[in-house]
Structure 1
Amino acid sequence: MTLRDLFQSVSDNPGLLILLLLPVPAIAFLANLWSGQTAEEIWKWRYVYAVLVYLACIPGMFAVTLNIYLFLFERQSIWDMNLVIQVLPILSMVGTLMLIRKKLPFSYVPGFGRLSGFLTLIFAVMGMLWFIDRTHIYAITYIPFAYIAIGFVALLLIIRFAWQRIF
Structure 2
Amino acid sequence: MSEISKLTVTTPIGLLQIIATDKAIVSAKPTDHEENIVGNEAANKLAQECKVELAEYFAGKRKKFDLPLKQEGTQFQKKVWQELKQIPYGETKTYGEISKLIDKPKASRAIGMANHNNSIMILVPCHRVVGADGSLTGYAYGVKIKKFLLELERKNK
Larger proportion of helix: 1
Normalization by structure 1: what TM-score?
Answer: 0.28
Q: Which has the larger radius of gyration?
A: 1
Name which structure has the greater RCO, CA cutoff 8 Å, separation 6+.
1
TM-score of the pair, normalised by structure 2? 0.30
